[in-house]
Structure 1
Amino acid sequence: MRPLEGIKVVEMAGVFAVPYSAMLLADFGADVVVVDRVSSDKADHHFTAMGYPFDRGKRSIRVDLKSSEGIDVVKRLIHAGDVVLDSYRPGVMESLGIGPEASCKVNPRLIYARLTGWGQTGPYTHKAGHDMNYLALSGALSILPNHGGQPVPPLSYMGDLSGGGLFCALGVVLAL
């Protein structure tokens, strides 16, 4: 038996950090359901012939988050789940009626993990978060090799995976 067997995780599909975090939880036995938006195209997010690399060990469902029926499906998943992994910008889940406050009222034992690029408050809150932005703003990009003065992207998404996704998974495990 794996340590997270019996734990139900609802992953609100994102690009790197949340899918990576959910994959780690699935690797340890959690039952992860990815909620993909009908309008999403994983081809934009490094989809390969073998599939999206971070979908290992997960199930998925495509949902129209702009319809009441789609929101009802997500609400049922959240209400029956143990963990929600939210990668959307602040306010999105609340506008859909499935933010942490509304979800935890119906499911008080729910662990609601938010992993956004710039947090829930502050000047960058509503800006898209991307690994290169984090590295540049933190100064870490300056210590990486460059090519003729131009930064060279790292071989790994250090901020998204090592900083965000890994620590989100650890936080969820500690909260369980």
Structure 2
Amino acid sequence: MKILSLAEQFPGPYATMLLSDMGAEVIMIERPGLGDPARQFPPLFRALNRGKRSVALDLKSTEGLARFRELARSADVIVEGFRPGKLDALGAGYEAIRKINPRLVHVSVSGYGQDGPYRDRAGHDLSYEGVGGLLADQAETGKPGVLPAIPLADIGAALFAAIAILSAVVSSQRTGNGRYVDVSMSDAVVSMLTAFLVPAANGTPLGDFIAEPAYGVFTCGDGKLVTLSIAHEDWFWRPFCEVIGKPEHAGLKGRERVARKDELRQEIAAVLVGRTRDEWGQIFDGAGVPWGPVNSLAETLDDPHVRARGLLRTLAREDGGAEVFLVQPLKFDGFETELSGPPPAIGADNKTLLGEGPV
């Protein structure tokens, strides 16, 4: 699969990197001299763009547009992250390119989608999270709170874009006709909140669904943090109460636990500070209680399970050193994901693919 990527920053690059790991050839179309704005932050850019190729083209120039159209003639997919209508205005939109490649799949990733009252509004991840309901708890209190630690709108849109590409390519292969796919980052957030928004839309909000006393982060005796994730399962709650020395609470059902959540949470917290995290880990594993360590980024990289799953790979750098990257997480029978190469310099593949320098 050959993918031309005009998408910058996060969602498009992450989506195409996942597909690159599965064997797709990804050619980044970058602005001469500038490239992806994420290049201003090399660690971010390198994390999302290794294994790709780069062609520098000015789509506003007649020659640059002609070269892009030539590349598109043999491509399977175009991924772009322009504001609605901008690529059409340049003469490089879906309707223009499908005339020379009718089987082409075109995936547009934008903040609010190609229609609707917000389609032309500027924004970034946090704004899409706010519109989509991810910050609903802050809306209810009317007070600004802690911001999400990861860009869920970016990541969600990237995953939906990857699904869109794979689905549309199958359709194209079967029918010979391409597809245009509209991926909205705010839509992605709304979709990820399905389990919460559907009940709310039907007058039955989940409310205390995850207000269980043993669903949260607790401090152990060595100062390290641990997660407990007992949601609504009595079969986890009963053995948990036994191993922490609170058998009198083992018979409480979900609604009873939620009603007494503050009291029970205090009791749990008081017990957990009596042992180290490793000690509790052994106890919880033995009892089948859902738990996990709260890792720092360094601890995640060194976590024995993360390493055993083969997510970390080392790649030789151009300067003779080595650099660690993460591979896509899907494991296929008979296919081993490998790192196909380092991130490209701007226009590194102009000569190979175009026969000359930036245009």
Q: For the residues of structure 2 that align with 1:44 and 1:82, how far apart are their CA atoms?
A: 25
Q: How far apart are 1:65 and its partner, in Å? A: 2.3
Q: For the residues of structure 2 that align with 1:129 and 1:79, how far apart are their CA atoms?
A: 32
Q: For the residues of structure 2 that align with 1:119 and 1:49, how far apart are their CA atoms?
A: 29
Identity across matched positions, percent:
38
Q: Does 1:136 align with 2:136?
A: no
Q: Does 1:56 align with 2:68?
A: no
Q: For the residues of structure 1 that align with 2:159 and 2:45, how far apart are their CA atoms?
A: 21
AA at the equivalent of 1:104: R
Q: For the residues of structure 1 that align with 2:154 and 2:58, how far apart are their CA atoms?
A: 26
1:161-176 paired onto structure 2 within 5 Å: 161=155, 163-176=156-169
1:43-122 paired onto structure 2 within 5 Å: 44=38, 47-48=41-42, 51-122=45-116
Distance 1:52-1:151 versus aligned 2 partners, 3 A rule: farther
Q: Does 1:156 align with 2:142?
A: no
Aligned to 1:4: none
Candidates 124, 127, 131, aligned match of 2:121: 127
Distance 1:9-1:41 versus aligned 2 partners, 3 A rule: closer
Q: Which runs of 5+ in 2 are unaligned?
A: 170-359
Aligned to 2:350: none
1:34-49 paired onto structure 2 within 5 Å: 34-38=28-32, 40=34, 42=36, 44=38, 47-48=41-42
Task: Give the TM-score, by structure 2 length.
Answer: 0.43
Q: For the residues of structure 1 that align with 2:45 and 2:111, how far apart are their CA atoms?
A: 25
Does the aligned pair in 2 maintain the 1:38–1:62 contact within 8 Å? yes
Greater relative CO (CA pairs within 8 A, separation 6+)? 1
Candidates 7, 12, 35, aligned match of 1:13: 7
Q: For the residues of structure 1 that align with 2:59 and 2:22, how far apart are their CA atoms?
A: 29
Worse overlay, 107-116 or 124-133: 124-133
AA at the equivalent of 1:95: A
State the Cα RMSD in Å: 2.0
Q: For the residues of structure 1 that align with 2:150 and 2:40, how far apart are their CA atoms?
A: 13
Distance 1:32-1:44 versus aligned 2 partners, 3 A rule: closer
Q: Which runs of 5+ in 1 are unaligned?
A: 1-6
